[in-house]
Amino acid sequence: MTDSSTRGKLFLVGIGPGGEAHMTARAREAIATADTLIGHATYLRLVADLVTDQEVVRSSMTEELDRAVMAVELAQAGRTVALISSGDSGVYGMAGLTYEVLFQSGWTPETGFPVEMVPGVTALASCAALVGAPLSHDFCAISLSDLLTPWPVIARRLNAAAAADFVVALYNPKSGRRARQIVEAQRLFLCHRHPETPVALVQSAYRPRQRLELTTLAELDRREVSMLTTVLIGNSQTRIEHGLLITPRGYTNKYDLRGRTTVDGERGGHSLSSGLDGWLATIRAGGESAAELAQRYGLPEDYIAAVLACADAAIED
Ligand code: SAH
């Protein structure tokens, strides 16, 4: 039987990019409450000021599995453990692996000790903040680490994101032993994007060795990138203005920003004329086949056919 007074607890703590100012209050509380802190030495150094009498277990990056197992075992034995990740623990961090270890040990949320996930500011948000507003339109994150993911999977995702015009944050772009991945990523992006596409390299955001560089897709392979860098690649609309990377939200599709008036054919607070309803009306009226429309809009023919069939049914109703 587990006595609640001796019951352990596991905090999965994301400490944000580095400095204490960008750590949440709950992360600080979790660290203060814990009797054992487990993490990579770099992250433990970042929270050193918060350590009082907690036991501190340092480990190196390659010992992630050991760290997760140790955290689970100690919590099972009644300790209050804070497992520290940089950024957010759920974003290429320790959380996923730890849940796998937990479930394998027979732990369930109903019967096991409490596990609390403490969200943190992930690198793409902190790095973006330092260079302007590059993520103001659809974006995605891709890790270039092939330690656990086959390269064709990574390459397909890079290709899809590049083709779909996402702003992309590349995590784990390079390490001592992995230098080519970033070059291949650049090559794939150049198949879809202009060589002058703005790119930001943000290294050690909010840490003492912070380094920012704005460059272009064409130049990416000639710039310094390390395992402490997040690479932000703009979409086709992203531009650099006065040293800031800005991705437009799309306001100019609808508004004249100076006069704050709407452009012809658009209404404030309503979907664009090319939004879903407007687009449906256009393709219905145009009389093109599903195959032609699929080609024109880069969408699956099955989808177009289904949309047209629905529209026909609605008209008949
Ligand atoms: N859990 C972390 C990500 C861990 S993966 C998070 O949510 O941010 C490690 C990668 O994260 C690094 O290779 C780098 O690409 C990125 N990263 C983490 N902290 C960073 C920081 N302070 N500055 C720049 N990049 C960072």
Q: CATH no. for residue 143? A: 3.30.950.10
CATH number of the domain enclosing 100: 3.40.1010.10
Q: Say if residue 315's pLDDT is above 70.
A: no
Measure the CA–CA gap between 102 and 73, rounded to whole angstroms. 9
155 and 188, same structural domain?
yes
Q: Say if residue 311's pLDDT is above 80.
A: no
- Categorize the per-residue pLDDT at 1 as very low, low, confident or very high, splitting at 50, 70 and 90: very low
Kindly give the number of the ligand 1 atom that is closest to the alpha carbon of 17.
22
Span 289-297, average pLDDT: 95
Check if 43 has its Cβ closer than 6 Å to any atom of ligand 1.
Answer: no
Distance 205 CA to ligand 1 centre (A): 9
Percentage of the chain lying above the pLDDT 70 cut? 94
Q: Which DSSP helix (H) or strand (E) runs through 74?
A: helix 64-76
> Across the chain, which distance is largest between two alpha carbons, in Å?
74
The protein residue with its alpha carbon nearest to ligand 1, atom 11, reads 171
Question: 194, 221, 246 — which closes off a domain?
Answer: 246
135 and 44, same structural domain?
no
- Give the model's pLDDT for residue 187: 98
291 and 214, same structural domain?
no
Distance 87 CA to ligand 1 centre (A): 6
* Number of separate domains in the chain: 3
Distance 188 CA to ligand 1 centre (A): 22
Distance 301 CA to ligand 1 centre (A): 39
Distance 136 CA to ligand 1 centre (A): 20
Q: Which two tokens stand for residue 259?
A: 């006069």
- Give the model's pLDDT for residue 43: 85
Q: Say if residue 274's pLDDT is above 50.
A: yes
Kindly give the number of the ligand 1 atom that is closest to the alpha carbon of 204.
23
Least confident piece of the model among 24-28, 124-128, 259-263, 268-272 = 259-263
Task: Compare 202 and 2 and report the one with higher pLDDT.
Answer: 202
Question: 227, 246, 265 — which closes off a domain?
Answer: 246
Check if 136 has its Cβ closer than 6 Å to any atom of ligand 1.
Answer: no
Check if 157 has its Cβ closer than 6 Å to any atom of ligand 1.
Answer: no
204 and 116, same structural domain?
no
- Categorize the per-residue pLDDT at 83 as very low, low, confident or very high, splitting at 50, 70 and 90: very high
Domain residue limits at 169? 124-246
| Strand, coil or helix: 149 | coil
- Give the model's pLDDT for residue 314: 65
Q: Say if residue 4's pLDDT is above 60.
A: no
Check if 94 has its Cβ closer than 6 Å to any atom of ligand 1.
Answer: no
Percentage of the chain lying above the pLDDT 90 cut? 77
Listed in sequence order, the residues at least 6 apart from 68 whose beta carbon sits closer than 8 Å to its beta carbon are: 83, 94, 97, 98, 100, 101
Span 182-207, average pLDDT: 98
Q: Which DSSP helix (H) or strand (E) runs through 26?
A: helix 25-33
90 and 25, same structural domain?
yes
Task: Compare 27 and 311 and report the one with higher pLDDT.
Answer: 27
- Give the model's pLDDT for residue 2: 44
Span 183-190, average pLDDT: 98
